[in-house]
Amino acid sequence: MVESLYIHIPFCNRICTYCDFNKVLIKNQPVDDYLDALIREIEMIGEDRMKTIFVGGGTPTALTEAQLARLLEVVTAKFTVTDEFTFEANPDELTPGKLDVLKSYGVNRISLGVQTFNEDLLKVLGRSHGYDDIFNAINHMEKIGLDNYSLDLMYNLPGETMEDIEDSLRHIERLKPKHISWYSLIIEPHTVFYNQIRKGRMQVDDDSAEGEKYFHIIEALAERGYPQYEISNFSTPQYESAHNKTYWLNAPYYGTGAGSHGYVGGTRYYNIKPVNHYIQSMKETGSVVKETLPLDEKAQMEEEMFLGLRMNRGVEIARFDRKFSRPMGDVYGSMLEQEIGKGHLQERDGFISLTEKGRLVGNTVFMEFLL
Ligand code: SF4
């Protein structure tokens, strides 16, 4: 049974300097045609109940109130959402009017793209929002009782200091979000940042400075009531992201929209990326052009381990045994013993997880699972 759905809105009002997501500037885009195609794709899904829905992008809040309402009308008529219904949002676009629309359709979680509280760094990132926008959005969210939000932050930004990290921590103490995602900036090819670094016009931290910030963040957030539960995610009790855990538990999910991907029946699929091609394929064939990648059992087991070890609690042994009708010990026995011996992995309360030492060499440990 598939219990999670991702919906992709590939439009942004401004393109950030570091971004390599599947997105386009919204100006002059056929947004309503895109919604037509997206709605058709959503309506083709067999299920009528979802545990989690995540609407991401791009920026879903780049849509107008009327467009948001149109999409949500279809989604909520089709699915009963039993657990978590998240919308990604940029602070400057999360107007009271749009928030009211989201709330009225049962959206119960906001993933707020704050990135940093430093106004200068926000400019370097090319973000459309400023410092005040963050508080305007949060104030209204709290006013209407939509106070379950994740503060999405980045570190390892060009020119960022430890004081910037401390400043974010002070804001966290004051705002008390339920959840925090704090990712290291990755310099991706085909971005403005990539070109600037290649030309020597910009620098980011070396690995050791980045590591120092990372471990400081983990420790400081734990002290403030946000224990780490995944490599880049931290939460107060009961507010871990149910949708993202679908991915880390290697559970099935649908992906809808241009460039989205899904995992159903042991097959990963990747929807065609360009917005116009996505619309065209739906118009001409009544379905979306996609690449599919069926995973054999070996690949499914590898992914189960890779993804599960991202979480601090790790991979549940009994769940693995049930899922693959084979004991984990039969599949990975000697390797597990070896990595436990090296102090990289540990078996605790029925879970295999990375130790602190293992986290430092995570990729080396992951490689061991390639049978
Ligand atoms: S708003 Fe998000 S998706 Fe859009 S360009 Fe910026 S980082 Fe990328």
pLDDT digits 0-9 by tens, 313-343: 999 999 999 999 999 999 998 999 999 999 9
Write the residue with the smallest CA distance to atom 6 of ligand 1.
16
Closest by CA to 224, choosing from 264, 165, 275, is 165
Q: For residue 298, is pLDDT > 90?
A: yes
234 and 332 belong to one structural domain: no
DSSP 178: S
pLDDT, average across residues 38-50: 97
- Of 248, 270, 286, the last residue of a domain is 248
**pLDDT of amino acid 245:** 98
Probe residue for ligand 1, chosen from 21, 93, 122 as the CB with the greatest number of ligand atoms within 8 Å: 21
Asked whether residue 235 is domain-assigned, the answer is yes
> What's the CATH code of the domain at 154?
3.20.20.70
Shared domain check, 113 and 16: yes
- Residues 324 and 244 reside in one and the same domain: no
Q: Which of 197, 216, 248 is the last residue of a domain?
A: 248
Residue nearest (by alpha carbon) to ligand 1 atom 5: 15
DSSP 47-99: -SEEEEEEEEES-GGGS-HHHHHHHHHHHHHH-EEEEEEEEEE-GGG--HHHH
> Is position 90 within any domain?
yes
- Domain end among 248, 268, 294: 248
Q: Which of 9, 12, 63 to mutate to test the pocket of ligand 1 (most atoms within 8 A of CB)?
A: 12
Q: Which range of residues forms the domain containing residue 320? A: 314-367
Q: What pLDDT was estimated at residue 371?
A: 58
* Residue 280 is assigned to a structural domain of this protein: no
DSSP structural state of residue 234? E
pLDDT for residue 222: 98
Average confidence score pLDDT of the chain: 94
Q: Are residues 202 and 349 located together in one domain of the fold?
A: no
C-alpha 368/C-alpha 163 separation (Å) is 38
pLDDT in tens, 127-174: 999 999 999 999 999 999 999 999 999 999 999 999 999 999 999 999
Three-class SS state of 185:
coil
Please name the residues in contact with 241: beta carbons below 8 A apart, sequence gap of 6 or more. Answer: 84, 86, 150, 179, 233, 235
The total of other beta-carbon atoms located within 10 Å of residue 269's CB is 18
Residues 224 and 319 in one domain: no
pLDDT band at 194 (very low <50, low <70, confident <90, very high): confident
- Closest CA relative to residue 258, chosen from 247, 270, 269: 270
